[in-house]
């Protein structure tokens, strides 16, 4: 208790020195809190848009489909699987899909295209499919002979709403699949590459075209909380309990994207190490200066019988008090800036392209780790760095200190 009182007295007695030390720790905490919050917010925004916009957070396929996609690798009992998904807590929505490729033409213009069969009502809940329509409208019904094409594909085909689009592909029975559909909408997913090749058909119509009645290639699932993806993926796997199909999280079916995100996260940790180093140097400089200025004081304490370990405790207590104050003030400032940026974000001078999608705004996020990690960094680095000047003070020779000061 006496050491604590003396520590408080010393802090407020040497205000200039205390402010310099505190600024180093406050700046380090604030920068760390802001950087972690902004990084987490930006990453989660990118991940959420990349997965929720099209891929989903979890996907169900035939076991070998991801390794080598094929028209014939299907989920044969998909309606039963959908019923099981409806019983799993945490599953927000799900949508069955089928995929194929073919040649599409409008008038004398033709192009290769990816045929995307979707259950419109479920796709709207899962990926906000209706919000991708920038011209025209969604399908009039689940069995309507209508098609929605990507914005890029519409430019290649010079296609307009109301025109007829002819599709030629291959059916699952080996037959030539071909039919004509009315263009009812033009979509824009945010992925320019995808929009140049994608066309959407109602699921039942696509199943009829490709001779895949009662079968799908994929079931895309979205969850309420991005952090619970892996946990819910395990629940889905246990629920479907099948050797023929499997559920995998986005980290698996979008591995290249996940690896890129992990590389960016590694860069964040490098930045935190740099910030910690800056904080440590700042604290070391000010505390060492304090020790040199107060050698007479430490000499007097030792002459009065104060033990070296008590002098070390005194200096470390001063540093820890300052660190605690700075953590509180830094938390308030960090919370304020992260809250502000989580609502308004930062407009990028040039859009960032990630996974074929363009992002114009980066947002922050208020979470526990954006305060907990900086608190640990500031407290631990200040304590470790402060120990060396404290050790020097504890070794002060009382007689020499009294003579030279």
Mean pLDDT of the chain: 84
Residue 302, by phi and psi: left (phi above 0), alpha (psi -120 to 50) or beta? alpha
Q: Which residue has the higher pLDDT, 145 or 404?
A: 145
CB 187 within 8 A of CB 196: no
Among 7-21, 322-336, 387-401, the range with the most confident prediction by mean pLDDT is 322-336
**Predicted pLDDT of residue 293:** 66
**Predicted pLDDT of residue 348:** 67
**Predicted pLDDT of residue 101:** 93
State the Cα–Cα distance between residues 221 and 78, nearest whole angstrom: 13
CB 184 within 8 A of CB 138: yes
Q: Which residue has the higher pLDDT, 292 or 133?
A: 133
As a dihedral over the C-alpha atoms of residue 82, residue 83, residue 85, residue 89, rounded to 10 degrees, the angle is 150
**Predicted pLDDT of residue 277:** 77
**Predicted pLDDT of residue 295:** 67
**Predicted pLDDT of residue 94:** 93
Give the confidence band of 298 by pLDDT, cuts at 50, 70, 90: low
**Predicted pLDDT of residue 224:** 82
**Predicted pLDDT of residue 19:** 80
Of the candidates 227, 262, 259, 232, which has an alpha carbon nearest to the alpha carbon of residue 247? 232
Phi, psi dihedrals of residue 124, rounded to the nearest 5°: -65, -40
- Residues 140-155 pLDDT 10s: 988 899 999 999 999 9
Spell out the residues 6+ positions from residue 112 whose beta carbon is closer than 8 angstroms to its own.
101, 102, 103, 104, 197
User: What is the rounded average pLDDT of the residues 279-291?
Assistant: 70
State the Cα–Cα distance between residues 132 and 152, nearest whole angstrom: 13
Q: Does residue 292 surpass a pLDDT of 70? A: no
- Residues 33-65 pLDDT 10s: 888 888 888 777 777 777 767 788 999 999 999
User: What is the rounded average pLDDT of the residues 241-259?
Assistant: 85
Q: What is the reported pTM?
A: 0.72
Pick the range with the lowest mean pLDDT from 92-101, 146-155, 297-306. Answer: 297-306
**Predicted pLDDT of residue 387:** 79
What is the distance between the terminal CA atoms of the chain, rounded to a whole angstrom? 29
CB 95 within 8 A of CB 122: yes
**Predicted pLDDT of residue 248:** 92
**Predicted pLDDT of residue 356:** 52
CB 147 within 8 A of CB 165: yes
Q: Which residue has the higher pLDDT, 25 or 283?
A: 25
Give the confidence band of 388 by pLDDT, cuts at 50, 70, 90: confident
Give the confidence band of 320 by pLDDT, cuts at 50, 70, 90: confident
DSSP category for residue 175: P
Of the candidates 85, 101, 105, 81, which has an alpha carbon nearest to the alpha carbon of residue 93? 85
Which residues on adjacent β-strands are paired with residue 202? 118
User: What is the rounded average pLDDT of the residues 179-203?
Assistant: 91
**Predicted pLDDT of residue 2:** 73
Spell out the residues 6+ positions from residue 155 whose beta carbon is closer than 8 angstroms to its own.
none
State the Cα–Cα distance between residues 218 and 250, nearest whole angstrom: 13
Angle at 229 between CA 372 and CA 270, to 5 degrees: 40
**Predicted pLDDT of residue 58:** 92
């Amino acid at each position: 208790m006496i050491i604590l009182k003396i520590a408080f007295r010393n802090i407020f007695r040497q205000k200039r020195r205390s402010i310099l030390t505190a600024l180093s720790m406050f700046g380090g905490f604030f920068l760390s809190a802001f950087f972690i919050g902004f990084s987490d917010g930006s990453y989660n925004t990118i991940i959420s848009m990349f997965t929720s916009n099209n891929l989903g957070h979890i996907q169900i396929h035939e076991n070998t489909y991801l390794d080598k996609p094929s028209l014939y690798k299907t989920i044969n009992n998909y309606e039963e699987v959908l019923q099981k998904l409806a019983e799993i807590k945490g599953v927000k929505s799900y949508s069955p899909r089928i995929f194929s490729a073919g040649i599409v033409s409008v008038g004398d213009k033709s192009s290769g295209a990816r045929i995307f069969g979707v259950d419109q009502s479920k796709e709207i809940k899962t990926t906000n499919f209706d919000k991708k329509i920038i011209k025209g409208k969604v399908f009039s019904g689940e069995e309507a002979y209508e098609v929605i094409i990507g914005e890029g594909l519409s430019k290649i085909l010079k296609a307009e709403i109301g025109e007829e689009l002819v599709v030629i592909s291959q059916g699952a029975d080996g037959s030539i699949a071909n039919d004509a559909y009315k263009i009812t909408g033009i979509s824009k997913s945010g992925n320019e590459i995808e929009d140049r090749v994608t066309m959407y058909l109602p699921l039942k119509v696509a199943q009829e075209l490709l001779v895949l009645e009662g079968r799908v290639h994929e079931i895309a699932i979205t969850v309420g909380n991005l952090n619970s993806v892996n946990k819910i993926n395990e629940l889905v796997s246990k629920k479907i309990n099948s050797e023929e199909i499997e559920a995998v999280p986005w980290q698996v079916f979008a591995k290249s994207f996940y690896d890129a995100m992990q590389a960016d996260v590694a860069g964040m940790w490098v930045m935190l190490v740099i910030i910690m180093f800056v904080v440590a140097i700042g604290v070391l400089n000010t505390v060492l200066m304090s020790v040199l200025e107060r050698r007479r004081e430490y000499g007097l304490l030792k002459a009065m019988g104060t033990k070296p370990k008590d002098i070390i405790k005194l200096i470390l207590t001063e540093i820890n008090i300052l660190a605690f104050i700075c953590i509180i003030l830094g938390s308030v400032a960090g919370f304020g800036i992260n809250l502000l940026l989580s609502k308004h974000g930062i407009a990028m001078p040039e859009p960032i392209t990630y996974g074929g999608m363009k992002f114009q705004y980066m947002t922050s996020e208020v979470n526990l780790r954006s305060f907990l990690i900086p608190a640990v960094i500031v407290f631990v680095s200040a304590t470790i760095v402060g120990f060396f000047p404290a050790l020097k003070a504890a070794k002060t020779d009382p007689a020499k200190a009294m003579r030279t000061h």
